[in-house]
Amino acid sequence: MQSQRLPFDPVEEARRHWEARWTEKAAREMVAVTSIMRVHQILMARLNELLEPYDLTFPRYEALMLLHFSSRGSLPLGKIGERLQVHRTSVTNTIDGLERAGLVHRIPHETDRRAVLAEILPEGRRVADAATEVLNAAAFGTEPLAAEELDRLSATLRTLRAGAGDFGP
């Protein structure tokens, strides 16, 4: 959502309360977490607004791009969940949305009768490219951050992702 502009930074005000009651260390950690929560909210609002003309939300866009880039144009739903690191029920909802929009369809697995695949349709590929052009042109909602800031941000977040066991040996 577009927020109302406050005359002060609410995150910095929270920092002052934390430093007064607890430690500078705890304040630093709380500020980082609260900042990520708010920036996530800002980005979701910006991206969903850009994607709305394509009948997409950001989670649907991510799943569509995964299929777009897959070697066969199709993936088992379980694998989509692993790759996007979301629950099975979220994948089902996301693929339902893409199917209703006519961008993917479900097909049976060739050898595993219990598995279902999602396959991207030609219209899905067209929308994937068109939506990406729009997101790229809007810098994925990251304005006003500069290249160096984005790279440092991603590197720091990668350390946290690795620490959480998302990937690695």
Contacts with 169 (C-beta within 8 Å, 6 or more apart), sequence order: none
Minimal distance, residue 101 CB to a copy of itself, in Å: 21
CB nearer a copy of itself, residue 8 or residue 114? 8
CB nearer a copy of itself, residue 29 or residue 52? 29
Q: Which residues from 26-85 bind a copy of itself, rule CB under 8 A?
A: 26, 28-43, 47, 58, 62, 65, 69, 82-85
Q: Which of 19, 55, 76, 86 binds a copy of itself (CB under 8 A)?
A: 86
Minimal distance, residue 72 CB to a copy of itself, in Å: 15
Q: Verify binding: residue 102, a copy of itself, rule CB under 8 A.
A: no
Lay out the sheet containing 74-76: strands in order across.
74-76, 116-120, 104-108
What angle separates helix 24-51 from helix 122-137, to the nearest 10 degrees? 130
CB nearer a copy of itself, residue 28 or residue 109? 28
Could you tell me how many residues of this chain bind a copy of itself (CB under 8 A)? 75
- The values of phi and psi at residue 106, to 5°, are -90, 140
Q: Which residues from 118-157 bind a copy of itself, rule CB under 8 A?
A: 132, 135-136, 139-145, 147, 149-154, 156-157
Tokens of 160: 């946290």
Q: Which of 51, 57, 39 is CA-nearest to residue 153?
A: 39
